[in-house]
Chain A
Amino acid sequence: MRLFALLVALIAATAAPVAAQPASNTAPPAPATTVPPAPGAAPAPVAALPPTPMSSAAESVYAAAKSRLLQIRTLVETADRQSSLGSGLLVTADGLAITNYHVVSQYALEPATYRLEYAAPDGSRGPLKLQAIDVVNDLAVVQLDKPAAAFFEFEPRALSGTLPKGERLFAMGNPLDLGFTIVEGTYNGLVDYSYNERIHFSGALNPGMSGGPTVTADGRVAGINVAKQTRGELVSFLVPVKDAATLVERARRNTPLTPADARAEITRQLTAWQAGLFQAVGDKGFRPSTFGPYRAPESAVPWLNCWARTNADAIPKPRALVSTTSCSSRTSLFIAGDLQTGQVDFTHSLVKSVDLNAFQFAAFLSQQMQPSWLGNWGKKRLTQQRCHENFLTFAGDADRPLLRAVWCARAYRDFDGLYDVSVTGVTEDRDREALVSRLNMRGITYENALSLGRRFLGAIEWAQGGTRTTGTP
């Protein structure tokens, strides 16, 4: 099972009605996708049932929270109409509110085209100033034009990470622009194998609730609504409240973000984040894994999600057997509607001829190398991919097969010093069997990519030392 999380900002501008899922099962998991509902979608008629009475806890929680909730609206400056909607929560008396970065991302990246506005449950509206962002944890702090009469407090047990699994939580927000709602669910701890901490919340989050609070029964914030999984029921995710508290502190201490600096700030955050991520990959190191006659590197970090597949049972019987291991990190970061970054993935495919001759096998291998490696994000955000390729041999070591190696990279237009890089190696020592290994790194500095890519290709070796065979195995 793969994770298809769904950011729950309500974006009506892009009109793709369902969650974007990969067209084929060979594509790497696309963990976070904003999903817009159809504007003005009519509610499906439901048989009239007697209304289930809301638990009294929810009733009192909502009553207490009502004046502290916000709807955060991104408007197109020229049209003065909403382009994306989310939720927010007031956290200080002087009118600071928390929401998700992805709720305000359009404004953060294009401050000339969009503006921000809040709408409170009492009907009041006003402009918002963007004070601070945290793209890694998908958080933003905005400043209202007035002080807050009431505001949320953070749950101490959530700050210290001691909430018990199973505790009842209440998520609030304005789903699908239908009005403010409260949803019951349970706390299920932190998501396993995730590099960035996310709380697994079993409750219904819907587009438009992004940036809203999820609170305990006594009304204290335990997490910020951020995403849901499109496959599966009631599988939703919250940003831990400690990250929100940190960002609010930062927003108070530091000078507010000016719109022009947002890109530089995102660049700085992404650069720092990838440094930590790839430091962790480097520190944990690669452990060799055996694929037929070869050994190839697999990262030892715990936050990788690995799957295997084979075409051995395909009909008609395949003329070359492919067994693939692919691993991807749950580290995808939402930057803009047309750009996600941060994901690392690698695949090793052992390809073995059944009855293909050497030329046919080479043609088959060429097909294995085909798919677009890094995903087709808009050319607005990224440059063209440029590649270097050659036969590659590592100096001073006889235990490695010669490789056909391809290095492809593209640069982020908005974020100086960050690149998407894909490294591929195909073993060139046998004519009817080969290992195709590929490492994709998104949002990485060039230096990190070079060092990691070199390590990756350098770790492709023969399983038994020195079995250099050429020709028919």
Chain B
Amino acid sequence: MIWVEILSRHRDVVARHRCDGAEIHIGRGYDNDVIIDDPFVAPRHLRVYRGEDGKLIAEDLVSANGLFVDDGGNPVPSVVIDGDTPLRIGRTHLRIREASHQVAGERAAVPAGRSWPLALGLAAAVIALELVSAWLSETTEPQVSRYLLPVLLLLVLLLAWTSAWAVLSRVFAGQARFERHLVIALTMLLAFSVYEEVCDVGAFSLSWRVLADYSYIGAWALFATLCFLHLREIGPAHLKVKAAVVGGLAVAVIGAQTLAQSEMRAWVTQQSYLHDLKPPSMRIVPAQTDAAFFADAKNLKAKLDRARKEERPAGDLLSGLDSDE
């Protein structure tokens, strides 16, 4: 007994034919054992028979388009079938297996909906972090709407984002995997929230402004990771290509933002100092002595004198750059 399986482009089984004869013919004509409706397949395209050593052999019946092994570029007259490597005739991918083909052992059953508690937990953590962060920066009379609206907006965006990936997943992988995508999105959102807080507090605690100024680099890296995880969830194929594309885009975006920021800084005077203070107890680094502080202040003079000669006064560029951020 031999099974002929017709595969999709993503190597999922689309149709499966059972053949009991010793020799099988595959083609577009009705005198075949397996009929394939592919205009690029010959009426009698492929013959499968058992060779002298008992192994199955696929033989091209001198078709115009030939027989290919997997994604190979050159047609072959015949090939010994191993049961795993797909063959291609015309534009159709095939896999031929014997009844004795070994399959993997059974996987442990996962109860349905098991990722929901995880998703809910993550969502609760994200919302809690958002609310606490909003509460800690509250300086006027608290208003419920100021807490509620951002959280609702966040949830709506999260659902839209996850749905979009579920749709892509359904189209390309055949399964929506909504929960998996939701867990990925929530995990990365939580990571992003924590990262933002760490940068914010760290910039003060370490008195290291770079952390706040360039936090967007990490943010884009997290976003790229998020997209990569979604893509991996859709299909495990071409992981390196996916990683390269996502990584390349992230680098391009970071580069563009760095450029925009440096150009903005040339025109906008504000924010050239750290603007977020934290409670004194959050300080980690030791304070500078007055001698060191004013030595650093003195060193700014050389920079200013250079800027005085080099920096060009602002023109009308500002209006054009405003929308970039």
Interface presence of A430 (CB below 8 A): yes
Contacts of A402 in B (CB 8 A): 280, 287
- Closest Cβ neighbor of A454 among chain B residues: B294
User: Once the chains are docked, how many angstroms separate the CA of A471 from the CA of B280?
Assistant: 8
- The residues in A between 359 and 401 inclusive whose CB is less than 8 angstroms from any CB of B are 359-367, 369-370, 372, 376, 378-380, 383-395
Q: Give the size category of A's interface with B.
A: 35 or more
Contact with A along B288-325 (1 / 0, CB 8 A): 11110110111111011101100101100000000000
Interface presence of B53 (CB below 8 A): no
* Stretch of B179-187, B220-228, B251-259, B269-277 that contacts chain A: B269-277
Contact with A along B117-135 (1 / 0, CB 8 A): 0000000000000000001
Contacts of B269 in A (CB 8 A): 372, 376, 379, 384-385, 410
Contacts of A386 in B (CB 8 A): 272, 300, 303-304, 307
Interface presence of B285 (CB below 8 A): yes
* Stretch of B3-11, B36-44, B76-84, B137-145 that contacts chain A: B137-145
Contacts of B103 in A (CB 8 A): none
Residues A470 and B281 in contact, CB atoms below 8 Å apart: yes
Interface presence of A120 (CB below 8 A): no
Residues B301 and A384 in contact, CB atoms below 8 Å apart: no
Residues A362 and B277 in contact, CB atoms below 8 Å apart: yes
What is the total number of residues of chain B having a CB less than 8 Å from a CB of chain A? Answer: 48
Interface presence of B112 (CB below 8 A): no
User: Once the chains are docked, how many angstroms separate the CA of A392 from the CA of B278?
Assistant: 16
Residues A453 and B305 in contact, CB atoms below 8 Å apart: no
- Closest Cβ neighbor of B140 among chain A residues: A319
Residues B300 and A409 in contact, CB atoms below 8 Å apart: yes
- Closest Cβ neighbor of A378 among chain B residues: B313
Contacts of B277 in A (CB 8 A): 362-363, 365-366, 369, 404, 426
* A409/B301 contact (C-beta < 8 A), A380-B313, A394-B289, A404-B277 known: yes
Interface presence of B242 (CB below 8 A): no
Interface presence of B265 (CB below 8 A): yes
Residues A379 and B314 in contact, CB atoms below 8 Å apart: yes
Residues B273 and A406 in contact, CB atoms below 8 Å apart: yes
Residues A372 and B270 in contact, CB atoms below 8 Å apart: yes
Interface presence of A458 (CB below 8 A): yes
- Closest Cβ neighbor of A446 among chain B residues: B301
**A to B CB contacts below 8 Å, 6 in the list:** A366-B277, A379-B314, A386-B307, A394-B290, A409-B297, A411-B305
Sample of 14 further A-B pairs with CB below 8 A, known A390-B287, A392-B290, A431-B279: A319-B141, A359-B278, A363-B136, A363-B138, A386-B304, A387-B272, A388-B297, A392-B289, A393-B289, A402-B287, A407-B293, A409-B300, A431-B280, A446-B298
